[in-house]
Amino acid sequence: MNYINIENEAELRSYLKKFEDKGLHIIALDIEAESNLHAYGEKLCLTQIFDGVDNVIIDPFKIDYDTLKLLFENTNILKVMYDAGSDLSLLKNTADIEIKSILDLRPAAELLNYEKKDLHSVIAFELGIFLKKKRTYQKYNWIKRPVAEQAIDYALNDVIHLLALKDIILAKLFAKKLLEPFLLKNLQIQNKDYTRDPEDKYRKINGYSRLRDDKKAVFRRVFDIRDKYAKLYNMPPHNVIHKEDLIKIVKDAKYINEIRFTKRFSMDLIQDILHELRIAVKAV
């Protein structure tokens, strides 16, 4: 698939200037990200655009956040997206970037009561275009460079049909007198504060909420030890200690001896981790 490849700040600024000079005002937008699957933490890895004429791939790794904001926070560019919540959250919490002037088509899938509401199913239903199943690239490593051309094709397929889909969906919403509820839901998406509570990283672990307060304190120490080593070795936290093991350690300190560590860790390192865990569960 043909596309414009943007890899630095000058190229992004040039593209945005040409976009403005052409009098354009709307794009289809999506991102690909890393979320503790292949490395530590969350990271914006790719941005894909269709502006009605050109397909565009933006590699953000060599572009500073202030320059990326010229795209994402530009209120003069309407950004058609699908199920934007996770993208909004990731950019806000990793780069302090807020995507502005969004038209999210996902609420329309609810209002129009599609049988299947994922993007590919809605595209198939409305446009008769059947795309590759998302699960094919659900575990793709978007950090790796160069990005495989098949992966880029997949990423672009999530945007090149959005503008046509938008026209059909808006017409249906208008005909069914659902346009105003749709616009309200979009304003709610846009106006939501996506800043995460630091407590969420503990709460989201299954079983944490049912622990007694003293056990929650132990859990936090164990969790933070896992996070420390995951960050130090740039690996997903679950590759250091499985999240299921966190609760087991808190409930029974002897379970520390049952933990199985990755072969990437030396025996000395494993002993250091075990030592810290034992101190954590015994601390008052």
Mean pLDDT of 200-205: 94
CATH number for 83: 3.30.420.10
Are both 217 and 269 inside the same structural domain? Answer: yes
Are both 184 and 49 inside the same structural domain? Answer: yes
Q: How far apart are CA 58 and CA 203, in angstroms?
A: 34
Average pLDDT over the chain, rounded to whole? 96
Are both 180 and 256 inside the same structural domain? Answer: no
Indicate the pLDDT class of residue 283, thresholds 50, 70 and 90: low
CATH number for 222: 1.10.150
Q: Give this prediction's pTM.
A: 0.93
Are both 111 and 210 inside the same structural domain? Answer: no
Q: Locate tokens 């009605």: which residue?
A: 52
pLDDT value at 33 more than 60: yes
Q: How far apart are CA 57 and CA 3, in angstroms?
A: 7
Please list, residue by residue across 43-69, b when 16 or more beta carbons sit within 10 angstroms of its beta carbon and e when fewer do. bbbbbbbbbeeebbbbbbeebeeebbb
Domain count across the chain: 2
Mean pLDDT of 241-264: 94
> What is the pLDDT, as a whole number, of residue 137?
87
> What is the pLDDT, as a whole number, of residue 136?
75
What single-letter amino acid sits at 131? Answer: L
What percent of the chain has pLDDT above 70?
A: 99
Are both 176 and 107 inside the same structural domain? Answer: yes
Choose one of 191, 221, 246: the last residue of a domain.
191
> What is the pLDDT, as a whole number, of residue 138?
84
Q: How far apart are CA 235 and CA 239, in angstroms?
A: 7
Are both 128 and 219 inside the same structural domain? Answer: no
Are both 93 and 221 inside the same structural domain? Answer: no
Are both 117 and 187 inside the same structural domain? Answer: yes
Mean pLDDT of 230-257: 95
> What is the pLDDT, as a whole number, of residue 191?
95
Neighbouring C-beta atoms of residue 17, cutoff 10 Å: 11
Are both 178 and 255 inside the same structural domain? Answer: no
Q: How far apart are CA 109 and CA 120, in angstroms?
A: 12
> What is the pLDDT, as a whole number, of residue 284?
47
What single-letter amino acid sits at 99? Answer: I
Mean pLDDT of 176-189: 98
Question: What sign does the dihedral 114-119-125-127 (CA atoms) show?
Answer: positive
Domain that holds residue 132: 4-191
C-alpha closest to that of 283 among 224, 217, 186: 217
Are both 171 and 71 inside the same structural domain? Answer: yes
Choose one of 191, 226, 259: the last residue of a domain.
191
Choose one of 191, 221, 237: the last residue of a domain.
191
Neighbouring C-beta atoms of residue 227, cutoff 10 Å: 16
Mean pLDDT of 178-205: 96
Mean pLDDT of 30-43: 97
Mean pLDDT of 137-166: 95
Are both 106 and 229 inside the same structural domain? Answer: no
Check: CB of residue 258 under 8 Å from CB of residue 214. Answer: no
Pairing of strands 102-104, 26-35: unpaired
Surface-to-core class of residue 29, CB atoms within 10 Å of its CB (0-12 exposed, 13-18 middle, 19+ buried): buried
Mean pLDDT of 23-31: 97
Per-residue three-class SS string for the chain: CCCEEECCHHHHHHHHHHHHHCCCCEEEEEEEEEECCCCCCEEEEEEEEECCCCEEEECHHHCCHHHHHHHHCCCCCEEEECCCHHHHHHHHHHHCCCCCCEEECHHHHHHCCCCCCCHHHHHHHHHCCCCCCHHHHCCCCCCCCCCCHHHHHHHHHCCCCHHHHHHHHHHHHHHCCCHHHHHHHHHHHHHCCCCCCCCHHHHCCCCHHHCCHHHHHHHHHHHHHHHHHHHHCCCCHHHCCCHHHHHHHHHCHHHHHHCCCCCCCCHHHHHHHHHHHHHHHHCC
Are both 184 and 229 inside the same structural domain? Answer: no
pLDDT digits (tens, 9 = 90+) for 86-104: 999 999 999 999 999 999 9
